[in-house]
Chains A and B, each alone.
Chain A
Amino acid sequence: MSRSAVGIILRAEWRAWRNRIAKANPLRVVGLVVFALLGGTVFGGFLFALAAAAGHLLPSARDAMLAGAFTALSVLMLVVGFPSVIATYFAGRDLMQLVLAPVRSIEIFLARSLFAMSANLLVAVVFLIFVAGVGAGSGASPLYYLLALALVFVQVLLVTALQATFMAAVLRWVPARIARDVAVAVASIAGGGLYLAWNLTLRQTLGSFAPRHQPDLSSLVSSLQRIEWVPSSWPGHALSAVIEGNASAALVWTGVTLVFAIVVVGAAALLYERTLLAGLGLLGGVPSRWRTRRRKPPRVAAAGAGSPGFAIARKDWIAYRRDIRRLSRFLPAMIFLLAYAVLLIRPGRGIDLFWNDVFVVAFVSLFMSMMFATTAIPAERRGYQLLRLAPVTSWQLIRAKVLFTLVPVLALTGVISLGLSLAGGNSPWKTLQVALLAVWLGVGCVCIGVSAGAIDPNFESADDRRSVGIVGTFAAMGGELAFGLFSVGALALFYLAASLAAGNAVAGLPVAATPAFAVASVVIAVALAAAGASVVVLMLWLANSHLRGFENSIVSN
């Protein structure tokens, strides 16, 4: 009997995955496994305990919580797992081989489903812990856990099929070259919008926190009850019916979930068969032409020697505008950032307006540099070899990237922070302090971000989100967080020193309002600022050393 195509494809994928692991640095693999286990235990344990407490203490909100959890899972999967779904079903170069072989589209669809679901399954594990916690807190029977496992898997399958259906629909209407980016942008904007709506609801709930009072959960529960008709919440209703011992309701909700999943998966398989060839080999490619308007005569550059730094900056600016993929990632992130900034305009209860602005400036600097700076060097991709061949030092490259990235980061941080400070009614002196802090944090975070990208670049990645490795991502996050904390800590100590020097003791601090303590505060503040600066210097030094020693070949453009 001949082996099925599905089995053959799965075996090849499994071998490829196994080879990738075998080829990887063993230390790195062990480190990742240890980190995942430790992180998973701490985070999973905390989430489980939180869900168990909620399940135990809020019996009336169980249905809303479970329905909300499944809906949140679906939204998160829609955004996070979408690139994996597109890459696996529509864009992978290995698809070409499968299409050329005597293999039916439905077999390709089935064989690749497991890999398309990989990112979604990872997200689902987190939600499974939450659902199990609610069950434990509610004293649910073993049937609850079995059903939860099955329904979470069905939800993953359903969302993956929905993503494939959505992509197939986009491919029918949008040119294949930009279809991938359009689809990702639409999903990101929709996901971002839903996430913000959720945050607003939470803020409404937690904003009404008052001392010695419980949070007002009515708004949250009513919001969740309003979405109970959404199919994504049906598995939650089924599980809450099991907890309540309502067998018929559990059966009905499970039944409709399964029927809906079958319909969506069937539709996805059918549509996939019709659109597989539409995007094959074209998705996400470079558009052949970028300019449709009439050709202008080429501009003759001004006199003077060419400047490598300026050339790199100019090339980056041109590429940024033309790289549809990067734009499709950038725009939703910008919407997300601006919306967050607007949300944070209103300071929390008991928080001084100035310190609220300090927090916003720190958040925007960190966010912007993570978005722009970390990918600055890896985004060179294969063109990085041109820079290595040219008489340009790695330090010159880092400097050019920092200067180019600083412009948008400082501009946006400046506009947001000054806008907040002025709209909030801060004095000109305090507004100036916010502006100076924005510049200090902007420069530091950009230097750290660019360096982190240089420490662990993945030049072969066509996707900016994967262009920095795990080490680089953690270096960026850790470095920026440390720098931000040192800097804001130094500012707070300067304020403390001013207060102590003026003879005003700070309530709750065991520090006397004397000049000696004021001087000590200044000394510690300067030390903290120096520690922040040394984080930046260390990162720049590591980046320079790493780039100088880089000698890997870069295969794909």
Chain B
Amino acid sequence: MSQTPHAVEARHLVKGYGVVRAVQDVSFQVPRGEIFGFLGANGAGKTTTLRMLCGLIRPTAGTALIDGFDVFAQPMEAKARLGYLDEEPFIHPHLTGREFLDYIADLYRMPRGPERHRRMERLLGLFELADRDGELVGAYSHGMKQKIGLASLLIREPSVLLLDEPTNGLDPRSARLVKDLLEELATRGTTVLLSTHILEVAQALCRRIAIMDRGHLVATGTMEELRTQAGSAQATLEDLFLRLTAGPESSELIERLLAPQP
């Protein structure tokens, strides 16, 4: 493993689509074992940044490093250490859950044998999918797809997890399970970069938080640092988020919508 102290490092990432700049000069580092929150409004550039970090999108400029390995210059080394869960998990609809996990384990060259089998069964049990044998992943509900997606990451124990809305579609019990699991993984040294719209989850889990707005990283830091940056000692994460991603206040918007038409 590389000796760099940062598990994830974004260096001046830029992504442009023609004249549109989806991500502009985004830089941050995430030390090992940290849960790092990634917040932003819809279309702020969170998913594009995550996809650049995991190698799905090549940046127009800048570098993405995972455990010190450049995702595009040393893709094999970086990908072997990385687990990415999309907001709509990538699955193979015609495989069963067990076959899908087996497929992923083989793709990442995990050793075969009873240990891998036991791990697979434990994960299927943990996510309440063990009794779904014979059921195809394509027919799973959204929450179940999310669970099998998470299981497909955890089976190979990556050192870095990039998660885009991991609790999306999960029932409260499963969402709690995922939160507890992430905390436990972080204490064992796994680095988690968590993109979410659920501010309570971010506030409860993340040591540091980055907020994106229209392609820019507008703030990064702990809750205290963000409060100082926003100049409000008592502000909640929701207040900070709304202040840093400034737009018309919701009360103003509602008033405009419901105002009698001339």
Do A and B make up one complex?
A: yes
Once bound together, how far apart are the Cα atoms of A388 and B84, in whole Å? 11
Q: CB of A285 within 8 A of chain B?
A: yes
In B129-151, the 8 Å CB interface with A consists of: 133-136, 138-139
Known: A315-B103, A388-B55, A391-B79. A300 touches B136 (CB 8 A): no
User: Looking at the complex, which of B34-42, B86-94, B241-249 is the stretch in contact with chain A?
Assistant: B86-94
Q: CB of B233 within 8 A of chain A?
A: no
Residue numbers in B under 8 Å from A307 (CB-CB): 106, 109
Q: CB of A288 within 8 A of chain B?
A: yes
Once bound together, how far apart are the Cα atoms of A392 and B90, in whole Å? 16
Q: CB of A350 within 8 A of chain B?
A: no
Q: Is the CB of A304 within 8 A of B136?
A: no
Known: A300-B117, A315-B95. A389 touches B84 (CB 8 A): yes
Q: CB of A323 within 8 A of chain B?
A: yes
B-contact bits for A263-289, CB 8 A (1 contact / 0 none): 000000000000000000000011111
Residue numbers in B under 8 Å from A386 (CB-CB): 90-92, 104, 107
User: Looking at the complex, which of A4-12, A146-154, A290-298, A440-448 is the stretch in contact with chain B?
Assistant: A290-298
Known: A389-B56, A389-B82, A393-B76. A319 touches B135 (CB 8 A): no
Q: Is the CB of B99 within 8 A of A391?
A: no
Q: CB of A383 within 8 A of chain B?
A: yes
Once bound together, how far apart are the Cα atoms of A304 and B109, in whole Å? 9
Residue numbers in A under 8 Å from B139 (CB-CB): 285-289
**Which residue in chain B gives the minimum CB-CB distance to A388?**
B56
Q: Which of A290, A301, A315, A551 contacts B57, CB < 8 Å?
A: A551
A-contact bits for B98-139, CB 8 A (1 contact / 0 none): 110011111111111110110001000000000001111011
Residue numbers in A under 8 Å from B16 (CB-CB): none
Q: Which of A286, A291, A314, A557 contacts B134, CB < 8 Å?
A: A291
Name which of A303, A318, A383, A389 has the most chain B CB atoms within 10 A of its CB. Answer: A389
Q: Is the CB of B107 within 8 A of A390?
A: yes
Q: Is the CB of A306 within 8 A of B92?
A: no
**Which residue in chain B gives the minimum CB-CB distance to A310?**
B106
Q: Is the CB of B106 within 8 A of A557?
A: no
In A204-250, the 8 Å CB interface with B consists of: none
Once bound together, how far apart are the Cα atoms of A381 and B137, in whole Å? 14
Residue numbers in A under 8 Å from B107 (CB-CB): 306, 308, 311-312, 386-387, 390-392
Q: CB of B154 within 8 A of chain A?
A: no
Q: CB of B189 within 8 A of chain A?
A: no
Q: CB of B178 within 8 A of chain A?
A: no
Q: Is the CB of B56 within 8 A of A385?
A: yes
Q: CB of A322 within 8 A of chain B?
A: yes
Q: CB of B75 within 8 A of chain A?
A: yes
Q: Is the CB of A304 within 8 A of B55?
A: no
A400 to chain B, nearest CB (A): 10
Tally of contact residues, B, Cβ under 8 A: 46
B75 to chain A, nearest CB (A): 7
Q: Is the CB of A295 within 8 A of B133?
A: yes
B174 to chain A, nearest CB (A): 20
Q: CB of B54 within 8 A of chain A?
A: yes
Q: Is the CB of A390 within 8 A of B79?
A: yes
Q: CB of A302 within 8 A of chain B?
A: yes
Q: CB of B58 within 8 A of chain A?
A: yes
Q: CB of A22 within 8 A of chain B?
A: no
B122 to chain A, nearest CB (A): 13
Q: CB of B80 within 8 A of chain A?
A: yes
Once bound together, how far apart are the Cα atoms of A392 and B138, in whole Å? 24
Residue numbers in A under 8 Å from B75 (CB-CB): 391, 393
Q: CB of A27 within 8 A of chain B?
A: no
Q: Is the CB of A304 within 8 A of B95?
A: no
B57 to chain A, nearest CB (A): 5
Known: A557-B91, A557-B93. A306 touches B108 (CB 8 A): yes
Q: Is the CB of A383 within 8 A of B92?
A: yes
B5 to chain A, nearest CB (A): 23
Q: Is the CB of A306 within 8 A of B111?
A: yes
Q: Is the CB of B112 within 8 A of A302?
A: yes
Q: Which of A287, A289, A314, A389 contacts B103, CB < 8 Å?
A: A314
**Which residue in chain A gives the minimum CB-CB distance to B137?**
A286
Q: CB of A382 within 8 A of chain B?
A: yes
Residue numbers in B under 8 Å from A393 (CB-CB): 75-76
**Which residue in chain A gives the minimum CB-CB distance to B85?**
A389
Q: Which of A288, A312, A383, A389 contacts B136, CB < 8 Å?
A: A288
Q: CB of A507 within 8 A of chain B?
A: no
A108 to chain B, nearest CB (A): 27
Once bound together, how far apart are the Cα atoms of A318 and B116, in whole Å? 21
Once bound together, how far apart are the Cα atoms of A314 and B96, in whole Å? 13
In B217-232, the 8 Å CB interface with A consists of: none
In A388-434, the 8 Å CB interface with B consists of: 388-393
Q: CB of A305 within 8 A of chain B?
A: yes
Interface CB pairs A-B, < 8 A, 8:
A303-B111, A305-B110, A307-B106, A310-B106, A389-B54, A390-B108, A391-B107, A557-B93
Residues in chain B within 8 A of chain A (CB atoms): 51, 54-58, 75-77, 79-80, 82, 84, 86, 88, 90-96, 98-99, 102-114, 116-117, 121, 133-136, 138-139
Q: Told that A286-B138, A298-B98, A557-B93 touch, could you supply 10 new A-B pairs with CB distance under 8 A? A: A298-B117, A303-B111, A305-B109, A306-B112, A318-B94, A389-B79, A390-B108, A391-B109, A393-B76, A553-B51
Residues in chain A within 8 A of chain B (CB atoms): 285-291, 295, 298, 300-308, 310-312, 314-315, 318-319, 322-323, 381-383, 385-393, 549, 551, 553, 555, 557
The 3 A-B residue pairs with the shortest CB-CB distance in the complex, in nearest-first order: A311-B106, A286-B138, A306-B106
